[in-house]
Amino acid sequence: MSFANHYLSKQKSAVHIPSVTPSRDLKYCIVIPCYNEDRLIVTLDSLWKCQRPGSGTEVIIVVNSSGSDDPVVLDQNLRTIEEFETWKSSHADPVLKFHLLHVPDLPVKHAGAGLARKTGMDTAIYRFNLLNRQDGIIISLDADCICDENYLLAIESAFKEKVQADCAILYFEHPLSGNEYPRSIYSGIIQYELHLRYHIECLRHIKYPFAHHTLGSCFAVKSGAYVRQGGMNRKKAGEDFYFLQKIFTSGYTTEINTTTVHPSPRPSMRVPFGTGPAIQKMLSSDQQVLMTYDPHPYKDLGRFLEVIPKFFRISKSEQRSLLLKMPEPVREFLFTHELEQKMAEVNRNTGNRKAFIKRFYSWFNGLMLIKYLNYCHAAYYAEMPVEKAALMLLKEKGLKPEHGTEITELLKTYRKIQQCQDYTILL
C-alpha cells in the first residue's frame, strides 16, 4: 500500500494530470498558486535558469478562480494560460518539467489562497504516492517570486545533509529599490520586512523554539510529514502560517540560508492579510509608518519560557507560586487562557519532562503567541514604529547597525544576522 492512500481517499482537491506519468526519480514538486497573475512567466524564467538537481523535478501551477470572480480576473487567468503554453513550447527539459492545472470552479465558500495551494500540494502528493515516495519534497512558491540560480541545489543539499528534517524554511529578501514600483512601495516593503525580521529576532532572543518565518513562498516540506499533519488547510489567507505551526511543533525544521527567494513588494488586496495588504494599508495611511510590537512583552514572555520545565508534575499550589513570580501581562494572559487546566491536561498525557515540554508548545504555538502579543498591547503596552523597536532590540542584544541607523541599513543588519543563523531548538 502506498503511503498516502488513506489521506488521498479523504481529499477532493488532488488533481490527476492526464497522460503525464511521473518519472521514477521524481523527488521535488514546486507548487505555485496563480490567481489574477501577470508575472508568472518571470517566475518560471527564474526557475528555468536554476541549476538542475540530481533528481526529477516538477513545477505544478494552479491557475484558479471561482464562480464569483470578476470577469477581469477570469480574462487574466486565460491570458496567463496562453502565455504559459507558449512559454512551455520552447522550454523542455527531462529533469525540470512544468504542468499547469486550470481550476476555474473552486467553491465560492472556500476559494482562496489556501485551497489553491492545497490543490497543488495534494496533486504533488498524488504523484509521489504513485511512487510510494514519502521523502518527496513539496516546495511552496508564489507566482510573483524570483529565485536564485542555486535555489534547487540548495534545497537538495539541505535535505540530504539534514535527513531528519521534515521541513525547511528558505531565506528571502524583498527588492528594496528599482524602477518597477513607486518609491512609496519600496519604502513600505522595507518597513514590513523589518517588522517580520524584528518579530522573529525577538522570539529568538527569548529562545522561543519555533522562531521561523512563515511565508508561503519560502518553505519546503517532506511529503510524509505533509500527510501526517493532514495536509494544507483551505483558509483564504494565512494558510501558510497555520500549516507551518503544525509542522513546526511535530518534527524538526531546518533553514536554508544559502539561496534567496525574492518575493514581490507590490500592494494587493487579493487576501485579507499578508505582505500585499500590509503594503496597501500603509499606502492608504496618512502617516505611512508601520507600527509593530513593543520589545518588552517578548522579554516578559521569556521569563515564563525559562520555567516551563518546572511545571512538569507539580501541584496546583506550586504552579500558582511560579505564576505569581511572572510579570503581570504574562500572568494575566495565562490566567485568562486557563493555564492551570491546560498544564493539568498536558501532565496527564505525558510520561516524561521532554514529552511534557513538546506537548506544551503544541498548545503555546505561533497562534497563541500572537494572541499573547495582541493582549499585551491592548492592556499594557503601546505599539511603536518598527524602526524604533528594531533599534531597541539591537541594543538589548548588544549589537549595532553596521552602517548607521537609517531604516534600510537596519534591515540589512537584521538580514545579515538571520542569514548567518540556522535556528533550531530541539525539544
Looking at the structure, tell me whether residues 150 and 215 fall in a common domain: yes
DSSP one-letter code for 263: -
Looking at the structure, tell me whether residues 218 and 318 fall in a common domain: no
pLDDT, residue 267, reads 62
Q: Compute the distance between CA of residue 400 and CA of residue 71 in angstroms, rounded to an integer.
A: 52
Specify if 401 maps to a domain: no
Q: Judging by beta carbons within 10 Å of its beta carbon (0-12, 13-18, 19+), is residue 257 exposed, middle or buried? A: middle
As a whole number of Å, the CA-based R_g of the chain is: 22
Q: Compute the distance between CA of residue 96 and CA of residue 426 in angstroms, rounded to an integer.
A: 35
> 26 pairs with which residues across the strands?
56
Q: End of a domain among 339, 363, 379?
A: 379
The number of domains in the chain is 2
Per-residue pLDDT of the chain (427 residues; tens, 9 = 90+): 699 999 999 998 777 776 789 999 999 999 999 999 999 999 999 999 999 999 999 999 999 999 899 999 999 999 999 999 999 999 999 999 999 999 998 988 888 999 999 999 999 999 999 999 999 999 999 999 999 999 999 999 999 999 999 999 999 999 999 999 899 899 999 999 999 999 999 999 999 999 999 999 999 999 999 999 999 998 877 899 999 999 999 889 999 999 999 999 866 544 444 555 565 566 566 667 899 999 999 999 999 999 999 999 999 899 999 999 999 999 999 999 999 899 999 999 999 999 999 999 999 999 999 999 999 999 999 999 999 999 999 999 998 887 777 999 999 999 999 999 877 766 6
Exposure letters 309-333 (e unless 16+ CB within 10 A, then b): eebbeeeeeebeebbeebbebbbbb
Q: End of a domain among 278, 310, 332?
A: 278
Specify if 393 maps to a domain: no
Looking at the structure, tell me whether residues 333 and 264 fall in a common domain: no
Question: Both ends of the chain: CA-CA distance in Å?
Answer: 33
pLDDT, residue 20, reads 82
Phi and psi angles of residue 20, each rounded to the nearest 5 degrees, phi first: -125, 95
Q: Compute the distance between CA of residue 401 and CA of residue 74 in angstroms, rounded to an integer.
A: 47
Looking at the structure, tell me whether residues 306 and 239 fall in a common domain: no
Q: Find the CATH number of the domain harbouring 269.
A: 3.90.550.10
pLDDT, residue 271, reads 44
Specify if 80 maps to a domain: yes
Specify if 286 maps to a domain: no
**Residues belonging to the chain:** 427
Looking at the structure, tell me whether residues 81 and 220 fall in a common domain: yes
Looking at the structure, tell me whether residues 85 and 230 fall in a common domain: yes
Q: End of a domain among 362, 379, 396?
A: 379
Looking at the structure, tell me whether residues 198 and 225 fall in a common domain: yes
Which residue type is seen at 271?
Answer: V
pLDDT, residue 238, reads 86
Specify if 19 maps to a domain: yes
pLDDT, residue 284, reads 61
The alpha carbon dihedral of 322, 350, 253, 375 has a sign of negative
Count the Cβ atoms, other than its own, within 10 Å of residue 250.
15
Looking at the structure, tell me whether residues 303 and 269 fall in a common domain: no
Specify if 403 maps to a domain: no
pLDDT, residue 273, reads 46
Count the Cβ atoms, other than its own, within 10 Å of residue 147.
24
Looking at the structure, tell me whether residues 31 and 153 fall in a common domain: yes
228-233: long-range contacts, CB 8 A cutoff, minimum separation 24: 230/7, 231/7, 231/11, 231/118, 231/121, 231/122, 231/125, 232/114, 232/117, 232/118, 232/121, 232/122, 233/114, 233/118
Phi and psi angles of residue 87, each rounded to the nearest 5 degrees, phi first: -65, -45
**Domain span including residue 300:** 296-379
Looking at the structure, tell me whether residues 210 and 354 fall in a common domain: no
pLDDT, residue 269, reads 46
Phi and psi angles of residue 137, each rounded to the nearest 5 degrees, phi first: -110, 120
Specify if 99 maps to a domain: yes
Specify if 413 maps to a domain: no
Looking at the structure, tell me whether residues 229 and 324 fall in a common domain: no
Looking at the structure, tell me whether residues 301 and 241 fall in a common domain: no
